[in-house]
Amino acid sequence: MNSSSLPTNCLPAVYLPQPYYERDSAIIRSAWWAAGLIDLAQSCALPEHKMLRHTGIFHEDIIQQQHSICPEQLLQLIHNIIKYSGQNDLSFLFGHQLLPGNIPHLSHKLNAANNLSELIDCLVQDQMLFSPLLNLRLCYEGDELVIYWQDACGADDCFVFLLEALCTAISSFSRWLNGERHPWKFYFAHKAPGYIEQYEVHLQGEIHFECQRNAMAIQRDYCFQPWQKKSNYRSPSTADADADECYFHLSQQPQPEGQKGFLTEVYNYLHHNISHTPNLEKTAADFGMSSASFKRKLKKHRSHFQAIYDQVRKDLAVFWINQEGWSSEQVAKKLHFHDVANLRRAFKKWTGMTLWAARN
């Protein structure tokens, strides 16, 4: 029997899982994210003992260049800051200071970018350093470049904080390099918050809430234009040279560079294998574990299989309808629905919209 005669859920996967990191993987360098957040919170008079509560992070660890923490610790730190600070602008303020960062080899690469496309390529290549908690997924849609943000490890109530910080980081740093702001458009799935003025002040772009995606987009023509007024590149200091030497030695040690978070890798697997109607059992097997172990790992990351599978199908349906102009019948067939009526019901559940409304 050849593969063409096998049921679709028995076909070999076209994309197999790549190495990934988990909530408890110590892959985040404390001297960047954690140290920056703690310094910012302390400048707003937030006591250190409240910030570090239940994080397993200690002050003496943060000042060590080689110290790393796991996503779970960083998420707990952000949760504490949100809970105890009472300020709505800390995420945006942190975003302004996040780039180019204090990891020399990355900051040098970012400063050396000649245009927005090169800058974004650097961020994607080193996204485990820049954005370990949210994944960046790039897509050209029509005449726009779109950066999609995806949960990597189970951000829960920290997700909006991370969105605000990372969108601010890219728009702010690109504005600094260019000498003037780029006309970004921002799309958020959450409702407009009570502090919408912070979005307007810090993002300074076209802002949309209650969307079907968490993304930022820009006309592709802007991506390849040389910076209008390239900011002066800061010459490395002696301290930078020492730090470079430190990170050179770190780079000789095994580092999971290029890896994605577990939830991102599950999403990628389902996205690439959607034509095979992936199910829990087949997905778990390809991830090298039993269905029970796979469900436990998903639960540890604050998710479950059906939630990610529905997210993949929703994203694909919206893309095929809006960008490709597919008919409802084409989408239903591609997503393995028996008829359009079933797709309509599922789409309404996923998005709160009808298929007709999604086309307008």
Phi-psi region of 137 (alpha: psi -120 to 50; beta: other; left: phi over 0): beta
The pTM for the full model equals 0.89
State how beta strands 20-21 and 260-261 pair. Answer: parallel
The residues spanned by each domain of the chain are 23-86, 88-226, 258-358
Ordered DSSP codes for 101-166: -S-HHHHHHHHT--BHHHHHHHHHHTHHHH-SSEEEEEEEETTEEEEEEEESS--GGGHHHHHHHH
The CATH superfamily assigned to 258-358 is: Homeodomain-like (1.10.10.60)
CA distance 156 to 256: 24
Q: Which residue has the tokens 């991506």?
A: 223
- Backbone CA torsion sign across 25, 28, 30, 36: negative
pLDDT at 11: 58
pLDDT at 359: 79
Which amino acid is it at 85? S
The residues, any chain, with a CB within 8 Å of residue 305's CB and separated by 6 or more, are: 266, 280, 283, 294, 295, 298
The predicted model gives 7-11 an average pLDDT of 50
The predicted model gives 277-305 an average pLDDT of 97
pLDDT tens-place string over residues 334-345: 999 999 999 999
Q: What percent of the chain has pLDDT over 70?
A: 89
pLDDT at 360: 63
19 prior amide bond cis, ω within 30 = no
pLDDT at 244: 43
Distances (CA, A) of 74 to 13, 256, 355: 34, 18, 39
pLDDT tens-place string over residues 224-265: 999 987 554 443 443 344 444 444 444 434 445 578 999 999
If one compares 246 and 167, the residue with the highest pLDDT of the two is 167
Tokens of 292: 């029970």
State residue 70 phi and psi, 5-degree precision. -100, 165
If one compares 66 and 259, the residue with the highest pLDDT of the two is 259
Which amino acid is it at 278? P
Tokens of 289: 């574990």
pLDDT at 231: 52
